[in-house]
Structure 1
Amino acid sequence: MVDCLFCGIVAGTVPAFKVVDTPDGIGFLDIRPVFKGHVLVVPRPHVPELTALDPDLLPGFFTLVQRVAAAVPAATGAKGTFVAMNNIVSQSVPHLHAHVVPRTKGDGLRGFFWPRHKYDSDDEAATYASAIAGALG
């Protein structure tokens, strides 16, 4: 889709700190992360929401989300992850995406009021992206 930011990232015309790029989807750092290492995982085709995802694509897409959910703690030192997905309401980009957020007990995340923690620089973001990509293997 021409006007979709995430389709631009998938196509490579919009820059992003990619952590994984597979036939099933792409994972990249959220530019407004809840915590540093927060990854968005998107399917390659433009799909506005989960209910529109072709059932044949579900296994590959969710396997990729699962792999990223394992890699984020390994790369960031977090104790776990929070995996979330909005559908239409609160979806800032109308392209299906799963949030994989690093979590540690006492990190301050409460319900759906997500604090945001910006990267200090592009170099810091690239370091996180590289570490997560390395943990993915």
Structure 2
Amino acid sequence: MNMDCIFCKIVSGEIPAKILKETSNSVSFLDAFPLAKGHLLVIPKNHHQKIQDMSIEENTDLFSLVHSMISKVDSITGSTLIAVHNGADAGQEVPHVHVHLVPRSKDDSAGAIHSMFNSALKLSDSEINDLYTKLKV
């Protein structure tokens, strides 16, 4: 636990939250600053800034809880955005892993992921091959 972290304070009960479902390693609750009706967060109980910092067990538990909450969120509008900002440069505002589940509708003005960026990246064949080599498992 990091008691300077708002999410750790929710896990410990120091800050109240509308808890929806809890497992041994994770908890889901309504977002305090929702982007849409039904916007919720799923977080690991242990403090980790990035997904790769979590154990496999914690990761499995977190995404199992995400999976179990999807149908509930989907029942609101029929479609759900699942978003993870993995680190500060990716837009993470609270440095504790959290998965957003946001009900989406065609007229919510949010757009697709490509609308978050000013333009599409144009890569040469050489650059694509270099990336392929770096990322291939």
Normalising TM by the smaller chain, what interval? 0.7 to 0.9
Gaps (5+ residues) in structure 1? 115-137
Match of residue 57 from structure 2: 56
Instruction: Spell out, residue by residue over 1:37-57, the C-alpha distance to the aligned partner (whole angstroms, 9 max, x if none).
Output: 100100111111111111122
> Contact 1:79 / 1:105 at 8 angstroms: preserved in 2?
no
Instruction: Spell out, residue by residue over 1:35-85, the C-alpha distance to the aligned partner (whole angstroms, 9 max, x if none).
Output: 0110010011111111111112222110101111111122xx211100010
Distance apart, 1:26 and its partner CA: 0.7
SS of equivalent to 1:96: coil
Larger RCO, structure (CA 8 Å, separation 6 or more) = 1
Instruction: Spell out, residue by residue over 1:4-39, the C-alpha distance to the aligned partner (whole angstroms, 9 max, x if none).
Output: 100010111111111112213111111111101100
Gaps (5+ residues) in structure 2? 117-137
Residues 21-32 of structure 1 aligned to structure 2 (within 5 Å): 21-32=22-33
Q: Distance in 2 between matches of 1:2 and 1:107?
A: 35
Q: Distance in 1 between matches of 2:9 and 2:105?
A: 32
> Contact 1:7 / 1:44 at 8 angstroms: preserved in 2?
yes
Please say if 1:12 is aligned against 2:7.
Answer: no
Q: Give the superposed CA RMSD.
A: 1.7
What TM-score does the superposition give when structure 2 sets the normalisation length?
0.75
SS of equivalent to 1:34: coil
Match of residue 82 from structure 1: 81
The one-letter code matched in structure 2 to 1:84 is A
What TM-score does the superposition give when structure 1 sets the normalisation length?
0.75
SS of equivalent to 1:26: strand
Match of residue 72 from structure 1: 73
Question: Which entry has the higher C-alpha Rg, 1 or 2?
Answer: 2
Instruction: Spell out, residue by residue over 1:74-124, the C-alpha distance to the aligned partner (whole angstroms, 9 max, x if none).
Output: 2xx21110001001121111000000001122222124679xxxxxxxxxx
The one-letter code matched in structure 2 to 1:13 is E
Number of positions where the alignment pairs a residue of Structure 1 with one of Structure 2: 112
